[in-house]
Amino acid sequence: MIKFIKNFRKDEDGAVTVDWVVLTAAVVGLAIAAYGAIQTSTSNVLADTGVAVGTASTWVNGSGGTGGGDGGS
């Protein structure tokens, strides 16, 4: 029985698997934390981009600013 315990203590076959599980969990945790940190800013950028695209669309259709375009007809 003592020989079995000594061999079990020296055996390192499963250690690599445990390392990979811990490493993967850490990466997933960091990704979730990073997403939480940039979520609000990303929403604001997307809203501003939508406004800019809407404004550009108005200019392309000829109804924005002075001169240029055909007045939308």
Q: Are 31 and 42 in contact (CB under 8 A)?
A: no
- Tell me how far apart the alpha carbons of residues 52 and 57 are, in angstroms, rounded to a whole number: 9
Q: Nearest 5°: phi and psi at 69?
A: 75, 175
- Burial group, residue 69, by CB count within 10 angstroms (0-12, 13-18, 19+): middle
Q: In this predicted model, what pLDDT tens digit does every residue of 31-71 receive, in sequence order?
A: 999 998 888 888 888 989 988 888 877 666 666 555 555 54
Residue 70 DSSP symbol: -
Note if the pTM is more than 0.75: no
